[in-house]
């Protein structure tokens, strides 16, 4: 059969959870303040550090509490975030101003997320001038300088009443809306998964006498914001290659393709998108993938000789996703008797027929 793209036999389609842009830098697994405001605050609200009655002003942090002295220049207050406990864990929660931060993650002390010692974040659409943290009985401010991915990291030097280093209790950021904020790039974000193994019936005198294994159906899901032209490569009993542009998939959709490789050992899909998409969606390039997997080039990806129409290598800047759910300790039955089909033998654990998926 040909290696062609089809929809599922029963007309259904799977779906994929969108990749989350957040990743923890420490030991946490929780994050807060994930949205971004649409405009900068015109002025500080109560408690913002510019004359308010509570929070980060020149007043107190509550009855009997220590003074909180984080302030912003007039008109420069953007937001305040507080460390809030959920019982089992903690998070940075937006408290005042515009919700401008995308919290990337933070590091705690002694394995606890309720004692954050540093924080990393983005402020898309805003120009950040300074950041200030309060903790213990202390405040610490810092000018800001993002890395190449637009991530700011702040590790304040705070002390508690006993003179020991204190964790962050709240955070105040100062700045303004960017004059010309860069729009988020349109990104394709693909996932690839094994769906089922295809079989064809074999007949004698009009009766089905056998079901013969013929290929494999994979499902491609696009959880991104842009239509993607993609290619794919599959290796084992029959190696196949299709270049970028052979098929396309719209944003927030999925589709399937069938390959002649009926005992696939490895399968990948690859595509091109804006370079900023890598950090935004935690994507892996072909260059990164082959180094991680120990392949020198595309030829090395294949078992044995690569397809004659395949290049020796792919562009290192292409994004790639691998089907990581392929069973490695078994193979699908080459032949299945009519009395068993569409079930497979116990030895084919992990594989399934497309008839069972219909």
CA dihedral in degrees (145, 149, 155, 156; nearest 10)?
Answer: 40
Three-class DSSP category at 266: strand
The mean pLDDT of the chain is: 81
Mark whether 33 and 12 lie in a shared domain. Answer: no
Mark whether 202 and 248 lie in a shared domain. Answer: yes
Mark whether 177 and 231 lie in a shared domain. Answer: no
Please check whether residue 105 is in contact with residue 90, taking contact to mean a CB–CB distance below 8 angstroms.
Answer: no
Tally of structural domains, the chain? 2
pLDDT recorded at residue 85: 85
Mark whether 177 and 217 lie in a shared domain. Answer: no
pLDDT recorded at residue 46: 35
CA atoms within 13 A on the CB side of 17: 3
Closest CA to 191 of 260, 262, 284: 284
Please check whether residue 341 is in contact with residue 328, taking contact to mean a CB–CB distance below 8 angstroms.
Answer: no
Mark whether 40 and 13 lie in a shared domain. Answer: no
Mark whether 202 and 344 lie in a shared domain. Answer: yes
Mark whether 27 and 97 lie in a shared domain. Answer: yes
Annotate 142-205 with DSSP letters as a single string: EE----TTS-EEE----B-TTSSB----EEEEEEEE-SSPPPPPP---EEEEEEEEEEEEEEET
pLDDT recorded at residue 210: 98
Mark whether 153 and 215 lie in a shared domain. Answer: no
Which of 124, 150, 183 terminates a domain? The answer is 183
Q: What helix, strand, coil percent values describe the chain, rounded to 5?
A: 5, 40, 55
Mark whether 14 and 126 lie in a shared domain. Answer: no
On the 0-12 / 13-18 / 19+ scale of CB atoms within 10 A, 242 is buried
pLDDT recorded at residue 55: 34
Distance CA 20, CA 322 (A): 18
- Per-residue pLDDT tens listing for the chain (358 residues): 445 444 433 333 333 332 222 233 332 333 333 233 322 222 333 334 433 333 333 333 344 444 557 888 888 989 999 999 887 788 899 999 999 999 888 888 766 668 899 999 988 888 888 999 999 888 998 887 888 778 889 999 998 888 888 999 999 999 888 765 567 789 999 999 999 999 999 999 999 999 999 999 999 999 999 999 999 999 999 999 999 999 999 999 999 999 999 999 999 999 999 998 998 899 999 999 999 999 999 999 999 889 999 999 999 999 999 999 999 999 999 999 999 999 999 999 999 999 998 7
Distance CA 103, CA 68 (A): 22
Mark whether 346 and 203 lie in a shared domain. Answer: yes
Mark whether 12 and 105 lie in a shared domain. Answer: no
Mark whether 349 and 201 lie in a shared domain. Answer: yes
pLDDT recorded at residue 47: 39
Domain that holds residue 59: 22-183
Which of 166, 183, 200 terminates a domain? The answer is 183
Token match 């032949």: residue?
A: 335
User: 88 pairs with which residues across the strands?
Assistant: none
Tally of helices (H runs) and strands (E runs) in the chain: 4, 17
Kind and range of the H or E run holding 348: none
Which of 149, 166, 183 terminates a domain? The answer is 183
């Amino acid at each position: 059969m040909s290696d062609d793209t089809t929809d599922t036999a029963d007309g259904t389609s799977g779906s994929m959870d969108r990749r989350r842009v957040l990743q923890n830098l420490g030991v946490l697994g929780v994050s807060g303040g994930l949205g971004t405001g649409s405009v900068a605050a015109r002025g500080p609200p109560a408690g913002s550090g510019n004359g308010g009655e509570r929070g980060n002003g020149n007043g107190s942090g509550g009855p009997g509490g220590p003074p909180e002295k984080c302030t912003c220049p007039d008109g420069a207050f953007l937001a305040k975030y507080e460390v809030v406990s959920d019982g089992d864990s903690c998070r940075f929660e937006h408290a005042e101003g515009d919700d401008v931060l995308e919290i990337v993650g933070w590091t705690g002390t002694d394995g606890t997320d309720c004692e954050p010692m540093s924080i990393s974040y983005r402020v898309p659409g805003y120009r950040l001038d300074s950041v200030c943290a309060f903790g213990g009985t202390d405040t610490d401010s810092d000018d800001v300088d993002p890395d190449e991915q637009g991530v700011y990291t702040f590790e304040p030097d705070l002390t508690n009443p006993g003179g020991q280093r204190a964790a962050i209790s709240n955070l105040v950021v100062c700045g303004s809306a960017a004059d010309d904020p860069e729009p988020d790039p349109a990104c394709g974000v693909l996932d690839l998964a094994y769906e089922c193994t295809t079989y064809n019936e074999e007949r004698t005198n009009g009766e089905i006498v056998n079901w013969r294994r013929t290929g494999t159906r994979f499902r491609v899901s696009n959880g991104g914001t842009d239509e993607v032209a993609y290619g794919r490569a599959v290796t084992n009993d029959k190696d196949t290659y299709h270049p970028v542009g052979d098929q396309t998939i719209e944003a927030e959709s999925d589709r399937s393709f069938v390959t002649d490789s009926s005992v696939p050992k490895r399968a990948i899909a690859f595509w091109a998108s804006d370079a900023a998409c890598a950090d935004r969606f935690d994507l892996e390039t072909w260059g990164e993938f082959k180094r991680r997997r120990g392949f020198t080039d595309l030829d090395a990806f294949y078992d044995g000789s690569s397809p004659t129409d395949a290049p020796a290598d792919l562009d290192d800047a292409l994004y790639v996703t691998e089907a990581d759910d392929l069973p490695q300790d078994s193979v699908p039955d080459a032949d299945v008797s009519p009395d068993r089909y569409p079930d497979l033998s116990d030895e084919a654990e992990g594989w399934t027929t497309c008839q069972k998926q219909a």
